[in-house]
């Protein structure tokens, strides 16, 4: 399997989970299907889902929860 790095589609704040009291969308080793939500980017109180464009296994997040990110910044890795 190849490791794919997925980049932020827009700048904002990246969240691993839907709410502070919820588990992350994916944990290392979890299966990922095309279209699965893997995080959220918040810009001015608008949340944009970051969806998987390929199927595989989730490897790890490359940014911490609630980190500011720039468009094109690597967010997470998938084994595809």
- Which pLDDT score is estimated for 73? 97
Of the candidates 53, 63, 56, 59, the residue with the CA atom closest to the CA atom of residue 16: 63
Could you give the CA distance from residue 39 to residue 76 in angstroms, rounded to a whole number? 9
Could you give the CA distance from residue 25 to residue 18 in angstroms, rounded to a whole number? 7
Could you give the CA distance from residue 32 to residue 56 in angstroms, rounded to a whole number? 5
User: Is the CATH code 1.20.1300.10 the one for domain 3-67?
Assistant: no
- Which pLDDT score is estimated for 1? 73
Q: What percent of the chain has pLDDT over 70?
A: 100
- Which pLDDT score is estimated for 66? 97
Per residue in 33-55, pLDDT (tens digit) is: 999 999 999 999 999 999 998 99
Could you give the CA distance from residue 9 to residue 69 in angstroms, rounded to a whole number? 10
Residue ranges for the chain with pLDDT beneath 70: none
């Amino acid at each position: 399997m190849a490791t794919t790095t997925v980049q932020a589609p827009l700048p904002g704040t990246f969240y691993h989970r839907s709410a502070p009291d919820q588990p992350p969308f994916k944990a290392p080793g979890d299966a990922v299907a095309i279209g699965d939500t893997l995080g959220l980017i918040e810009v001015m109180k608008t949340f944009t889902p970051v969806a998987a464009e390929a199927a595989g296994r989730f490897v790890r997040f490359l940014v911490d929860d609630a980190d500011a990110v720039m468009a094109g910044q690597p967010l997470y890795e998938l084994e595809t």
